[in-house]
Amino acid sequence: MALYEHVFISRQDLSTTQTEDLVNQYSKVLTDNGGKVVGTEYWGLRTLAYKINKNRKGHYSLIKSDSPPAAAQEMERLMKINEDIMRILTVKVEKHEDGPSIMLRSKNKSDDHSSESSEKTTEDRLN
């Protein structure tokens, strides 16, 4: 079996729980076809570089899998049919990274910086 990372963008008008349901639905497709889901991540609602299907934002999600190529192809086929999914990217990798992906690490780092900057501005106001 091969190691894959599947990233997909779903429509902006979906809720977070609906997006998580999509991740669970396609994870089940992989497991039903003989694959194994190693991990999933939700990267959040992000602004797109350009409009896709009249949407300016999209929910980004990642599924890491260890599955046969047929299972990955079946999942992609079903994603292309679904109107809630705007874009799909599947990449075959040598090995999965341990821990969170670079997208989550950068998101957490920016969250830390924004909380630090808000603390500094509060301190500046007091002085």
CA atoms of 69 and 86, how far apart (whole Å): 22
- H-helix segments, the chain: 16-32, 69-81, 102-126
pLDDT tens-digit readout, 33-83: 999 999 999 999 999 999 998 999 999 999 999 999 999 999 999 999 999
Q: What is the pLDDT of residue 98?
A: 78
